[in-house]
Structure 1
Amino acid sequence: MSTNQKIQLHGFNNLTKSLSFSIYDISWAKSDQHRSEYLSYIDKQYNANRLTAILHEVVEIIDANVLNISRQDYEPQGASVTMLISERSQTLAAHLDKSHICVHTYPESHPHNGISTFRADIEVSTCGIISPLKALNFLIHSFDSDVVTVDYRVRGFTRDVNGVKHYIDHQINSIQDYLTADVQELYEMMDVNVYQENIFHTKMLLKAFDIKRHLFATGVNELSNNERLAVEQNLKREISEIFYARNVSR
Structure 2
Amino acid sequence: MKQTPAQRIKLHGFNNLTKSLSFNMYDICYTKSKEERKAYIDYIDEQYNAERLTNILKNVSNIIGAHVLNISQQDYVPQGASVTLLISEGPVVEVPNESLKESPGPLPESVVMQLDKSHITVHTYPEYHPNEGISTFRADIDVATCGEISPLKALHYLIHSFDTDIMTIDYRVRGFTRDIKGHKLFIDHDISSIQTYIPKEIKSLFDMIDVNIYQEHIFHTKCKLKEFDLNNYLFGYTKEKLQAQEIKEITERLKIEMEEIFYGKNMSPDSQDD
TM range (shorter): over 0.9
Find the counterpart in structure 1 of residue 108 from structure 2: none
1:143/1:38 Cα in 2 relative to 1: closer, same or farther (>3 Å)?
A: same
Task: Kindly report the root-mean-square deviation, in angstroms, between the aligned alpha carbons of the 2 structures.
Answer: 1.4
Deviation at 1:183, TM superposition (A): 1.3
Give, in whole Å, the separation in 2 of the partners of 1:181 and 1:130.
22
Please tell me whether the aligned partners of residues 24 and 169 of structure 2 are also in contact (alpha carbons under 8 angstroms): yes
Say whether 1:135 aligns with 2:154. yes
Alignment of 1:151-166 (within 5 A): 151-166=170-185
Give, in whole Å, the separation in 2 of the partners of 1:196 and 1:152.
13
Find the counterpart in structure 1 of residue 201 from structure 2: 182
1:97/1:84 Cα in 2 relative to 1: closer, same or farther (>3 Å)?
A: farther
1:217 pairs, out of 236, 247, 254, with: 236
Please tell me whether the aligned partners of residues 170 and 218 of structure 2 are also in contact (alpha carbons under 8 angstroms): yes
Q: Which runs of 5+ in 1 are unaligned?
A: none
Structure 1: which amino acid aligns with 2:158? Answer: L
Alignment of 1:60-209 (within 5 A): 60-89=62-91, 98-209=117-228
Structure 2: which amino acid aligns with 1:166? Answer: L
Structure 2: which amino acid aligns with 1:218? Answer: Y
Find the counterpart in structure 2 of residue 247 from structure 1: 266
SS in 2 for 1:14: coil
TM-score (normalised: structure 2): 0.87
Question: Identity, % of aligned pairs?
Answer: 61
User: Which stretches of structure 1, 4 residues or longer, exceed 6 Å deviation after superposition?
Assistant: none
Give, in whole Å, the separation in 2 of the partners of 1:34 and 1:101.
33
Please tell me whether the aligned partners of residues 82 and 103 of structure 1 are also in contact (alpha carbons under 8 angstroms): yes
Q: Which string of whole-angstrom CA distances, capped at 9 and with x for unpartnered residues, describes residues 113-147 of structure 1?
A: 41100000000000012321110111012111111
Give, in whole Å, the separation in 2 of the partners of 1:47 and 1:66.
19
Deviation at 1:97, TM superposition (A): 7.6
Please tell me whether the aligned partners of residues 20 and 172 of structure 2 are also in contact (alpha carbons under 8 angstroms): yes
SS in 2 for 1:148: strand
TM-score (normalised: structure 1): 0.95
Give, in whole Å, the separation in 2 of the partners of 1:90 and 1:13.
15
Please tell me whether the aligned partners of residues 260 and 266 of structure 2 are also in contact (alpha carbons under 8 angstroms): yes
Give, in whole Å, the separation in 2 of the partners of 1:212 and 1:4.
47
Please tell me whether the aligned partners of residues 90 and 116 of structure 2 are also in contact (alpha carbons under 8 angstroms): no
Give, in whole Å, the separation in 1 of the partners of 2:199 and 2:240.
35
Please tell me whether the aligned partners of residues 206 and 224 of structure 2 are also in contact (alpha carbons under 8 angstroms): yes
Give, in whole Å, the separation in 2 of the partners of 1:172 and 1:183.
19
Please tell me whether the aligned partners of residues 64 and 130 of structure 1 are also in contact (alpha carbons under 8 angstroms): no
Q: Which runs of 5+ in 2 are unaligned?
A: 94-114, 270-274
Deviation at 1:89, TM superposition (A): 3.4
Q: Which string of whole-angstrom CA distances, capped at 9 and with x for unpartnered residues, describes residues 125-179 of structure 1?
A: 0001232111011101211111100000000000011111100010001101111
Give, in whole Å, the separation in 2 of the partners of 1:194 and 1:70.
34
Give, in whole Å, the separation in 1 of the partners of 2:191 and 2:247.
43
1:245/1:236 Cα in 2 relative to 1: closer, same or farther (>3 Å)?
A: same
Q: Which string of whole-angstrom CA distances, capped at 9 and with x for unpartnered residues, describes residues 28-86 of structure 1?
A: 11211010111011000000001001001101111111010000010000000000111
2:8 pairs, out of 3, 6, 11, with: 6
Give, in whole Å, the separation in 2 of the partners of 1:16 and 1:90.
19
Deviation at 1:246, TM superposition (A): 0.3
Give, in whole Å, the separation in 2 of the partners of 1:182 and 1:249.
32
